[in-house]
Structure 1
Amino acid sequence: MVEQVDIRSSDFSLRIHRPLPLLSGATLGHGDISVRRFPIPGRQQITNAALALVTAVVAGASTSAATKALENVKPLRRRMEILENMSTTILDDTVGNPASVAAIFETLRAFTARPVRIVYAIRGSRGITINASNAKALALGVAECAATLMVTTSEDAANERNRVTDAERDAVLEVLRSEGAPFQFEPTLKQAIKRTLQAAGRDDIVLLLGAQGMDRGAAIAREVLRDCGLRTAD
């Protein structure tokens, strides 16, 4: 049961409905195990944390030790990673398939009604099919949260193995158009991020979404904000 979700953390409880057998031969009685301020947002991440919690307890960890470990876990790089010390709230995530794209928007719906701006890097050298599917999921999410969307082929950041082909680019843009999703296109990642950050308001959430083509996104965002004098020291 998810009790509270915000931009930085989640409170949730795992309810044990019947005695849980432990490897030691003992059992854990029914009741709730509560985790406070789990530092990785998103229902998918909470589900993973709950599974890890059960596994640890069954293996012999105390519930207090297991919950403390989750409350102090370090967020994974580019998994709904919140970039710190920024004047604008920026979340960085690797989205490689339609399910992961949809999960991002599910998380957004859970914790915010703030304006959303997205920079999306097309997957390079992965084919038309996956890119078209990702674009459709992206279009649905953009419509749900009325986000602004900037699409890039990361020509300045992707290596040879991750170059976006013309066919992949065209497939993505055509799906977005056919789905009625408004977007802008920038071939370079730096310019796409720069334009998005310059347009962002104080209350906006900026999402850096994409696989290998967005790997340099966080570094570029920090550089742009520093150059524009927008990075905070908090």
Structure 2
Amino acid sequence: MNYSIKASELADKIDGVLYGPDIILSGKFTFLNKASLNDIVIRHKINDKGIEIAKNKGVSCLITQNPHDNAIEVAEKLDFTLIVTSHIEYATALALNESVKEFAGDALKIAITGTNGKSTTTHLLYTIFSDLGYNTYTNTDAESEGNTLIDPRVASELAEFYETKGEVEAIALEVSEVQGWDDRIMEDHCYQMMSALQPWAVIITNASMDHINLAGSFENLLYEISGAARTIRDMNKGLLVLNYEDKNIRKMSKIVEDTNSKVLFFGNYNPDNLLDISYKEGVGIYCKDELYVEEKELPFTSAHFIQDIMAALAVVTSLEDIKREDVIGSLRNYKPLARRFIRLKDSPVIIDDFAHNPSGIKLTIENGAKLGNNLFVVDAIRGSRGEDINREIAEALSEVLGDRDNYTLVLTCSVDVVNHLNTVLDSELKIFLDTLDKDNIQYTLIESLEEALINTINQASDDDVILLLGAQGMDPASDLLRKNNIIE
């Protein structure tokens, strides 16, 4: 890298304390297991053994928030440069910013955040720009584990991308709207990550109840999400794309008033209030008053995907040199991320969806129920995520199932597949069940995910629909179905 800085200056930039020699640092930012000579490692916690490993690898500096055991003493003994910061995100944001400048300085940069749909919207943009011939990087994947400032994944991957594929020409970056650990919020996470990227365009998909155990309230959640708009405001230029149908997101246009930024809205088609991008059921997606893509050309027509496609098109249609027929061709052949309303089987219909918050639950059930006769819902309770989100999810299930007669609800704690980070706590299970009981929602609780799946499959007829909902607790479902020869 061209980046070069004294260790003491780097420590000052990230609110850190320097231990060991104050040397010139010029390596790339990365993980300990990927590090090579002169690299700078960022690691949330480290012990004395980790310091020894870094020294032996020839790492020039290690940055951490939590030095354990005798990490500091060993670093000083080995004459090794160690920086301890109270905010690891400061280091990761700096690493991201420097890596973007080094490997993607002229790239078209787009950042996406929101409660639902950010992974699919990001992946859509990645696919479209890749199909259009851009050398495109994205951090999104099926599990959305790279959308945070907890570790230097993006910085490290940008360096690897440059080394193997050349200069980055476009970036579609998914950014977690709220982040933290141990019930401590990483304040202004979205703002910090997007500010480090310095994007040309920002998309905010929506805002609904999630991560309340970290944010503390819905108002705080909205503030964290608004970091995306505040980034565009502070840059005094760029494009802000907002979901018009979400009133809280719509209001964020005010944040960039009196700046040189441009705001685009997407939402439902209304001839009396034409949005920049809008959807008319049965017809297609409009750009202003012109039909841009017919519904028959869309890869999916569920409410989830329509919203995500509109958000992506708001960005794409803002670029004059992109041909409409090329965009439509990319959409027509689009293959979604795993666990995004994926049909695993046709008879009975089995849909696997990463519905992990109230709005996602409602949308998936409303769309999925149309695909079969009787409705079976298998929901994995969210483990170690707090009582609030589990109560909200249970309330969403009550609301969307309460007026139906032909449903079967199966709950699971997925005890056979989750680790300690996703274990359903007794308090979480109690609030979930108490909420359903209060609303007279009938359910069956099966502790094991595999047993819950097989039990449900055995009850369903060929013309029914089974929805597999939930986050980490439902992730192994497709593998378990293959193991039992239920799907190929």
Above 0.5 in TM-score?
yes
CA distance in 2 between counterparts of 1:144 and 1:69 reads: 39
Match of 1:201 among 461, 478, 481: 461
In the alignment, which residue of structure 1 is the partner of 2:340? 79
In the TM superposition, what is the alpha-carbon distance from 1:213 to its structure 2 partner? Answer: 0.6
What is the TM-score of this pair, normalised by structure 2? 0.40
Provide Cα deviations, 1:186-211, integer angstroms capped at 9, x if missing partner.
01101111100011100111111111
In the TM superposition, what is the alpha-carbon distance from 1:108 to its structure 2 partner? Answer: 3.0
Provide Cα deviations, 1:66-124, integer angstroms capped at 9, x if missing partner.
1111111111111111115x642111111221111111123235x44521101111000
Larger Rg: 2
CA distance in 2 between counterparts of 1:65 and 1:200 reads: 42
In the TM superposition, what is the alpha-carbon distance from 1:35 to its structure 2 partner? Answer: 4.2
User: Relative to 1, partners in 2 of residues 1:41 and 1:144: Cα closer, same or farther, differing over 3 Å?
Assistant: farther
CA distance in 2 between counterparts of 1:200 and 1:178 reads: 27
In the alignment, which residue of structure 2 is the partner of 1:23? none
In the TM superposition, what is the alpha-carbon distance from 1:58 to its structure 2 partner? Answer: 2.3
Provide Cα deviations, 1:128-169, integer angstroms capped at 9, x if missing partner.
111011011012222244320000111101111000011111
Does 2:374 match 1:103?
no
1:117 match: secondary structure: strand
CA distance in 1 between counterparts of 2:414 and 2:281 reads: 37
The answer (yes or no) to whether the contact 1:116–1:145 under 8 Å persists in 2 is no
Match of 1:13 among 248, 267, 284: 284
The answer (yes or no) to whether the contact 1:35–1:71 under 8 Å persists in 2 is no
Match of 1:189 among 443, 449, 461: 449
Does 2:325 match 1:64?
yes
In the alignment, which residue of structure 1 is the partner of 2:393? 134
After superposition, residues 165-184 of structure 1 pair within 5 angstroms as 165-184=425-444
What letter matches 2:304 in structure 1? Q
What letter matches 2:362 in structure 1? A
Unaligned runs of 5+ in 2: 1-279
Match of 2:378 among 109, 116, 119: 119
Higher RCO, 1 or 2 (CA under 8 Å, sep at least 6)? 1
The answer (yes or no) to whether the contact 2:368–2:467 under 8 Å persists in 1 is no
Deviates more, 1:213-222 or 1:112-121: 112-121
User: Relative to 1, partners in 2 of residues 1:181 and 1:37: Cα closer, same or farther, differing over 3 Å?
Assistant: farther
In the alignment, which residue of structure 2 is the partner of 1:222? 482
What letter matches 1:129 in structure 2? D
Unaligned runs of 5+ in 1: 4-11, 19-29
User: Relative to 1, partners in 2 of residues 1:77 and 1:90: Cα closer, same or farther, differing over 3 Å?
Assistant: same
In the TM superposition, what is the alpha-carbon distance from 1:31 to its structure 2 partner? Answer: 4.1
Match of 2:416 among 150, 156, 160: 156
CA distance in 1 between counterparts of 2:421 and 2:428 reads: 14
User: Relative to 1, partners in 2 of residues 1:162 and 1:14: Cα closer, same or farther, differing over 3 Å?
Assistant: same
What letter matches 1:2 in structure 2? E
User: Relative to 1, partners in 2 of residues 1:206 and 1:143: Cα closer, same or farther, differing over 3 Å?
Assistant: same
What letter matches 2:393 in structure 1? N
CA distance in 1 between counterparts of 2:311 and 2:328 reads: 12
The answer (yes or no) to whether the contact 2:356–2:469 under 8 Å persists in 1 is no
The answer (yes or no) to whether the contact 1:40–1:80 under 8 Å persists in 2 is no
What is the TM-score of this pair, normalised by structure 1? 0.81
CA distance in 1 between counterparts of 2:373 and 2:400 reads: 14
In the alignment, which residue of structure 2 is the partner of 1:9? none
Matched positions, count: 207
